[in-house]
Amino acid sequence: MASENPSINLFKFLPCLNWLRQYNSRMLTDDLVAAVIVTIMLVPQSLAYALLAGVPAEVGLYASILPLVLYTVFGSSHTLAVGPVAVVSLMTASSIVGLNVQTPGEYLQAAIVLALLSGLFLLLLGILRFGFLANFLSHPVVSGFITASALIIALSQVRHVLGIEGGGDSLPELLVSMGDNIGALNTATLAVGGFVLLFLFATRCWLKALLEKAGMSDFLAGIAVKAAPVMAVIITIIWAAAGDLQGQEVALVGSIPSGLPTLQLPVFDLMLIRELMVPAILISIIGYVESVSVGKTLASKRREKIDQNQELIGLGAANIASSVSGGFPVMGGFSRSVVNFDAGARTPAAGFFSAIGIGLATLTLTDYLALLPKATLAATIIVAVLGLVDFSILKKTWVYSRKDFIAVVATIIVTLLGGVETGVTVGVMASLLLHLYKTSKPHIAEVGEIKGTKHFRNVKRHMVETFPSILTLRVDESLYFGNASYIEDQVFHNLAERDQLRHVILMCTAVNEIDISALEVLESINKTLREQDIGFHLSEVKGPVMDCLETTTFLYELNGEVFLSQFQAVQTLLLEDTLLSL
């Protein structure tokens, strides 16, 4: 049996070994088709997000080759498409702009180091099995952060559509910057950018319906819509070549080196590493949460599972690969992953084939891509990120939970006014504080028996039977340092004006853990009740919790008993009271 363990661990560490054992020609065909479609979509996206990150266009292509290969080997999702993504690209730019970088080369080196630090941090979390951290960022807060970031991204690209200078990390900075430079608007650039915007919005709104009406299948019509940015790229490249857009001062991508990226270690600069450490952690957290959310959603549609810890390793390996191949931070992209899924990708091999496609593009298409107007890429980014804006989360949280609503609004406002780094920090803090607040004041209900059923429910919600000599409180949360004092206060609050009370039962159905602080509070409650000649009992204690209690003196000192069921507790204590009264 021991000889099988290394093999089992290897298959867990290298998920590709699992699906490779079952790989066949049908899967190969499906993966190749999906790869072609994703590659067509990925080329303009890679260039666009490189522009957003502030690095040369070819770096976007580099970040879409080796990272995909490494994720194919280490990733657990069959359909997650890894590469440059909008929010992470914006966070990359925001992280580096504040540094004292003097040249484009230093800026690029900072982006490469950022990818390395993100990769190492993700890899470390994966090895330590910290995948559960994704659960500590609430979905509403993440949605609010992505919505605000998408608005900043879209606004930051308007200057490229207008052909003016400008910049900034927050909404006020961007608006002031554009206002100061609007007089330098370039009409030829606006014509290109405006055309691409109208073209992409039109295809998104009407193209699919028109193609289906013409007899095209739903699948092919959907692919045609997804390929619209490629058509915009082709049209504007031809426009630039035939119309001499460069002579009209329209900014073009410019010369792109032909060939695959060379592998090399990032420059080791201790000061740079120290300055980028916190941004790298923030990028890793947000990118990981977004990637896992997409991966889980797509996996559930095929009744598959993803391993959150393995995803940390897969994304970490992808970012390290991006760094050594001259790229910037990468994560799983929502739109690409959905296209990959809809195109029928069966395994992560589709990503490997996409990497080959991007590699071929860097070898053969760079001369043509050099003529691509930056306004085209900016318009592509604007249309793509506006699809991430989700203000419906405000209505949902307002109706369902005001606490979540406050957290979402705070995240959106801080991100818009303070920039993405401040926004993500507030988002993380809001998620943690929201969790602590909710668990610090757990729901505590007095319960009684629904007559004749042996079931115990909240006295305020059901017709139940209670007894003057017995008070049963059900705590709907684990007991820990954050809520221990609150629970003590609620127990003694419920003792008031109960002259006939002889027993207090703490019903532990929902208690999964009792930490040392909470244990000390239980000991205090037990001592106080003993002094008042009131028995203190526990019921329905879970096995792991009981195991921990048995390692202490609490059970020995308990002024009462531990009962297997609440029904047994009530019946036993009623019988004892009856016998004592005789």
- What is the 3 state secondary structure string of 128-150? CCCHHHHHHCCHHHHHHHHHHHH
**Cβ contact 582:557 at 8 Å:** no
The three-state secondary structure class of 474 is strand
Q: What is the pLDDT of residue 235?
A: 93
Amino acid at 390: D
Instruction: Give the model's pLDDT for residue 425.
Output: 79
State pTM to two decimals.
0.79
Strand order in the sheet with 503-507: 455-458, 444-450, 470-475, 503-507, 535-539, 562-563
Contacts of 441 by beta carbon, 8 Å cutoff, 6+ apart: 483, 486
- Report the pLDDT value the prediction gives residue 582, as an integer from 0 to 100: 62
Instruction: Round to whole Å and give the CA distance between 477 and 187.
Output: 62
pLDDT at site 8: 52
Q: What is the mean pLDDT of each run of 10 residues along the chain (582 residues)?
A: 53 83 89 88 88 92 95 92 91 87 90 96 92 75 85 90 84 89 91 94 88 84 81 92 86 88 87 92 89 84 85 95 96 84 87 94 91 91 85 90 86 88 80 81 92 91 92 93 90 83 94 94 94 94 94 94 94 87 66
Please check whether residue 421 is in contact with residue 239, taking contact to mean a CB–CB distance below 8 angstroms.
no
Domains of the chain in sequence order = 36-172+256-368+389-435 (no CATH), 444-581 (3.30.750.24)
Output the six-digit token pair for 347.
């395994």
Question: How much is the pLDDT for 6?
Answer: 53
186 touches 163 (CB < 8 A): yes
Mode of pairing for the β-strands spanning 82-83 and 331-332: antiparallel
The pLDDT of residue 2 is 44
Using CA atoms, how far apart are residues 425 and 411, in angstroms rounded to an integer?
Answer: 9
Phi first, then psi, for residue 158 (nearest 5°) are: -60, -35
The helix-helix angle for 270-301 and 308-324 (nearest 10°) equals: 130
DSSP category for residue 261: P
Supply the Cα-derived Rg of the chain in whole angstroms.
30
Q: Please check whether residue 86 is in contact with residue 282, taking contact to mean a CB–CB distance below 8 angstroms.
A: no
The helix or strand, by DSSP H or E, that contains position 537, with its residue range, turns out to be strand 535-539
Q: What are phi and psi for residue 475, nearest 5 degrees?
A: -100, 120
Q: How far apart are CA 169 and CA 424, in angstroms?
A: 13
Q: For residue 443, how many C-alpha atoms fall within 13 Å in the half-sphere facing its CB?
A: 7
Which class for 477: exposed (0-12), middle (13-18), buried (19 or more C-beta within 10 A)?
buried
Question: What DSSP line would sit under 77-88, residue for residue?
Answer: -SS--EE--HHH
Neighbours of 226 (CB within 10 A): 21
Q: Checking phi first, is residue 463 left (phi over 0); if not, alpha (psi -120 to 50) or beta?
A: beta
DSSP letter (8 states) at residue 486: H
